[in-house]
Amino acid sequence: MADSIVYRYGLLLFILLGLFSCKSKKEILISADKKSITDILEVPHDYSWYEAKAKIKLESSQESLKGTLNLRMRRDSAILMAVKKIGIEGGRTLITKDSVTHIDRINHNYYINHIDNLKSHGISLSYDYAQTILSGTSPIINQGAIIDSIYTQDKIVIKTMINDMLHELSYDIHTGLLTRVSFKDNFSLSGSWTYSDYRLVSEKIYLPYQRIFQIETFSKNNNDEKLILELNFSNIEIDSPKPLRINIPDSYNRIY
């Protein structure tokens, strides 16, 4: 059953599922002044290396799974994810600028594909999009590409197109931190994610330790699907270089 979910959601599932001395929780400084869109777009996210560990909980129309996610990234280069259940690694995924390699350790198979080929699953994605979601940062937005913006008492909402999908991003008006994103394509895919429990991980960078993703697909034959993924991070560390590699055993079978 899990294989069918991986196939249906393609790269998006790998992005979300993947498959450190703990930082003290420091209070976020909240200014009485309200942020502007320019302030939000200039929030620094400077890091070269990224390592994190999180508990994951996946619920779909068909099943419920729990496990742990180990994540490593070299910015603008490669992303490595490993998912474990009851201490046993079930899968490992390496995403680069042009390819996706996934190992299924349960069924002893693997696949390697060009990242663009996975758009055939109905999802328009890119390496930069995957990196943004996994790092817990805000997508890079060109101010000239903003379709609409709304200021309320407690948030700023920006509408823009990212990867051919309409995105609506909500930022806390006092901290400038991203709290919620909703997206939809022109066909049958929609979803959202929320960021909360922000903590300081470097001198200037706050990152969310809790992230909840929801994805829905709709079909004409009422075979709708819904997926909810919750990530609760116990540790996030930046700029500590670690190897990013994936070794495929000779006995594994290559699929699609």
The model's pLDDT over 174-199, given as tens digits with 9 standing for 90+, comes to: 999 999 999 988 777 788 999 999 99
Tens-place pLDDT, residues 134-161: 999 998 888 899 999 999 999 999 999 9
User: Confidence band (pLDDT; 50, 70, 90) for 87?
Assistant: confident
pLDDT for position 178: 95
Query: Does residue 125 sit within a domain?
Result: yes
Torsion of CA 127, 132, 138, 143, to 10 degrees: -10
- CATH number of the domain bearing residue 226: 2.50.20.10
Q: Which two tokens stand for residue 83?
A: 């998912």
Q: Which two tokens stand for residue 240?
A: 């500590």
CB 126 within 8 Å of CB 11: no
Instruction: Residue 1: name the closest of 125, 107, 154 by CA.
Output: 107
More confident residue, 151 or 225: 151
Query: Does residue 255 sit within a domain?
Result: no
Query: Does residue 256 sit within a domain?
Result: no
Residue type, 147: I
Query: Does residue 154 sit within a domain?
Result: yes
User: Confidence band (pLDDT; 50, 70, 90) for 218?
Assistant: low
Domain that holds residue 94: 2-247
User: Confidence band (pLDDT; 50, 70, 90) for 120?
Assistant: very low
Residue type, 20: F
* Beta strands at 253-254 and 109-114: parallel, antiparallel or unpaired: parallel
Query: Does residue 252 sit within a domain?
Result: no
Residue bearing tokens 């590409």: 145
CB 215 within 8 Å of CB 194: no
Mean of per-residue pLDDT scores for the chain: 82
Query: Does residue 54 sit within a domain?
Result: yes
Contacts of 243 (CB under 8 A, 6+ apart): none
Distance CA 12, CA 18 (A): 9
Query: Does residue 112 sit within a domain?
Result: yes
User: Confidence band (pLDDT; 50, 70, 90) for 74?
Assistant: very high
Tens-place pLDDT, residues 32-69: 578 889 888 887 678 899 999 999 998 887 778 899 99
How many domains would you assign to the chain? 1
Contacts of 27 (CB under 8 A, 6+ apart): none
Query: Does residue 253 sit within a domain?
Result: no
